[in-house]
Amino acid sequence: MDTTRLKQFVGTFWDDAILPSITEYIRIPNKSPAFDPKWAEHGYMEDAVKLMEAWARRELEAFPGAALEVVRLPGRTPLIFMEVPGDSKDTVLLYGHLDKQPEMKGWFEGYGPWIPLLKDDKLYGRGGADDGYAIYACLCALKAMQEQKVPRARCVVMIEACEESGSYDLPFYVDHLMDRLGNPSLVVCLDSGCGDWDRLWLTTSLRGIAAGTLTVRVLTEGVHSGDASGIVPSSFRILRSLVSRIEDEATGEIKIQDLYVQIPPQRIEQAKDAAKVLGDQVYAKFPFAGGTKPMASDLGDMVLNRTWRPQLATIGMDGYPAPIDAGNVLLPYSTAKLSIRIPPTLDGRAAVSAIKRTLEADPPYGAAVEFDGGEGQSGWHAPPLAPWLEKAVNRSSQEAFGNPAAYMGEGGTIPFMGMLGEKFPNTQFVITGVLGPHSNAHGPNEFLHIPTGKRVTVAVARLIAAHHERKT
Ligand SMILES: [Zn+2]
């Protein structure tokens, strides 16, 4: 494949065919079901599916025998499924999602989640980078290969609409589509992060998540704090002491030993390498306020902290009025939503029960304490890269970015990868993405870094070509 021609094709296709459509997509507030329980009634998810479906159908016309189906299992979010015949029966599975995170506060003046805004190579707005671009990049890579008549395996593309809610609909679709999925020998997932904009980043692991809601009840209704304090224990104080059972409040270290795993030596080495490539960007990419410093001093340790060690984030609180409405009341209950990221190889269900046991045992003052934790989600750890793929990854990074590839675990969770890893233990995985420094998926001011989108697309075309060449 001619690299210059490939880059040219991808660049023009992104500018002419992708950006106009993705701009429309950003306008649609199709929040994931967890953040919009009435998603079906509201119809935004349908709008996003229709937009992408129409776009993809037009592009697929160029591929003889290609098919697109919006699969709709009753009561579940829809899924866009495409089959593009190839030059062998071998299958490459490409994956992305179209549902979005909620708005979040803190967008720059004039910017907003549903306002597509192009500035300095960046397209701002919710869902462009996480993960709307995926379907566009997949078809662009296939078109670029076709333009140069490069042979490849049959490709199937799955774009789900439930990822940001934990992909709870996806196992049903995987079962439903099993025959049409075939037995993919390569999975390409375009929903991950990159450490910088200068190379292809391969995700070597993803953390799992054990989240739940901790509630402490001390009263059946609020009472005058002048009357009750000193007699009725504060629910906040009890909550605070319970949280301290699982996390050291001075260091942030998780205290439950069952939430740790042995980190594989190769991953420790790669974390050190990634830290060297990234330097201060390991932490400087975050918008620290005031004099806030990171939790560790060693860069390699920071990488391992966010990829292989359990960590707690308290992501929501209930039971409290806003300060302006707060009277002197001893409140009846405190609720905190706890989100604990767990190591890639730890079982999500086991993690939730270890946390629940620790929090609910022997409640202070006999208060009513409940941790509602659901099932948890296990993480994912990449199988070793086949030699052909390792070579291809480096080569495609060189050609697309001008630098060798880098390998790093990611701190986030993509439930589908765990599912696929279980179903297809011999499959090779390329998990990459455009969520780089400051791109702030899930937060305010999310943006899609367009040059990286193009380069990742170039790399994907290269990898699919190399996958076909490996046998012939
Ligand atoms: Zn995503």
Q: What is the DSSP string of 431-449?
A: E--SB-TT--TTSSS-EEE
Nearest to 459 by CA among 141, 211, 180, 147: 141
Share of the chain above pLDDT 90, in %: 90
The pLDDT tens digits for 122-174 are 999 999 999 999 999 999 999 999 999 999 999 999 999 999 998 899 999 99
- Give me the mean pLDDT over the 445-451 stretch: 97
Bridge partners of 156?
A: 83, 93
Q: Is the pLDDT of residue 248 over 60?
A: yes
Residue 294 DSSP one-character state: -
Bridge partners of 119?
A: 122
Q: How far apart are CA 365 and CA 359, in angstroms?
A: 14
Local confidence band at 445 (pLDDT 50, 70, 90 cut-offs): very high
**Pairing relationship of beta strands 91-97 and 186-189 according to DSSP bridges:** parallel
For residue 163, the CA-to-ligand 1 centroid distance in Å is 7
pLDDT at res. 77: 98
For residue 191, the CA-to-ligand 1 centroid distance in Å is 5
Give residues with Cβ within 8 angstroms of 410, minimum separation 6. Answer: 192, 193, 203, 205, 206, 207, 307, 431
Helix (H) or strand (E) holding 36: none
- Give me the mean pLDDT over the 16-39 stretch: 97
In Å, what is the CA distance from 1 to each residue of 54, 149, 401, 404? 29, 9, 16, 19
For residue 433, the CA-to-ligand 1 centroid distance in Å is 9
Residue 164 DSSP one-character state: G
Q: Give the angle subtended at the CA of 85 by the CAs of 79 and 86, to the nearest 5°.
A: 130
For residue 436, the CA-to-ligand 1 centroid distance in Å is 13
Local confidence band at 324 (pLDDT 50, 70, 90 cut-offs): very high
pLDDT at res. 472: 47
Q: Residues with Cβ within 5 Å of ion ligand 1?
A: 130-131, 191
Location of structure tokens 């490939």: 6
The pLDDT tens digits for 60-77 are 999 999 999 999 999 999
In Å, what is the CA distance from 186 to each residue of 51, 388, 399, 425? 28, 12, 20, 11
Q: How far apart are CA 10 and CA 16, in angstroms?
A: 10
Give residues with Cβ within 8 angstroms of 103, minimum separation 6. Answer: 29, 112, 113, 114, 126
pLDDT at res. 471: 67
Local confidence band at 418 (pLDDT 50, 70, 90 cut-offs): confident
| CB burial of residue 213 (10 Å; 0-12, 13-18, 19+) | middle
CB atoms within 10 A of CB 24: 15
The pLDDT tens digits for 220-247 are 999 999 999 999 999 999 999 999 999 9
Lowest-pLDDT choice from 197-201, 283-287, 294-298: 283-287
Residue 258 DSSP one-character state: G
- Give me the mean pLDDT over the 188-213 stretch: 94
pLDDT at res. 356: 98
Q: Is the pLDDT of residue 307 over 60?
A: yes
Local confidence band at 447 (pLDDT 50, 70, 90 cut-offs): very high
- Give me the mean pLDDT over the 28-35 stretch: 97
- Give me the mean pLDDT over the 10-26 stretch: 98
Q: How far apart are CA 233 and CA 195, in angstroms?
A: 46
For residue 437, the CA-to-ligand 1 centroid distance in Å is 15
For residue 455, the CA-to-ligand 1 centroid distance in Å is 19
The pLDDT tens digits for 105-129 are 999 999 999 999 999 999 999 999 9
pLDDT at res. 425: 84
For residue 355, the CA-to-ligand 1 centroid distance in Å is 26
Q: How far apart are CA 374 and CA 377, in angstroms?
A: 9
Q: State the number of CA atoms in the 13 A half-sphere of 423 facing the CB.
A: 19
| CB burial of residue 291 (10 Å; 0-12, 13-18, 19+) | exposed
Nearest to 228 by CA among 336, 220, 335: 220
Q: Is the pLDDT of residue 194 over 60?
A: yes
CA 187 and chain centroid, separation:
16
Nearest to 21 by CA among 190, 103, 139, 107: 139
pLDDT at res. 426: 87
Nearest to 156 by CA among 139, 137, 133: 139
pLDDT at res. 296: 95
Taking all residues of the chain, what is their mean pLDDT, rounded to a whole number?
Answer: 95
For residue 10, the CA-to-ligand 1 centroid distance in Å is 23
For residue 288, the CA-to-ligand 1 centroid distance in Å is 23
- H helical segments located in 183-224: none
Q: Is the pLDDT of residue 84 over 80?
A: yes
The pLDDT tens digits for 368-384 are 999 999 889 899 999 88
For residue 132, the CA-to-ligand 1 centroid distance in Å is 9
Local confidence band at 101 (pLDDT 50, 70, 90 cut-offs): very high
For residue 99, the CA-to-ligand 1 centroid distance in Å is 8
Q: How far apart are CA 447 and CA 464, in angstroms?
A: 27
Local confidence band at 456 (pLDDT 50, 70, 90 cut-offs): very high
pLDDT at res. 306: 94
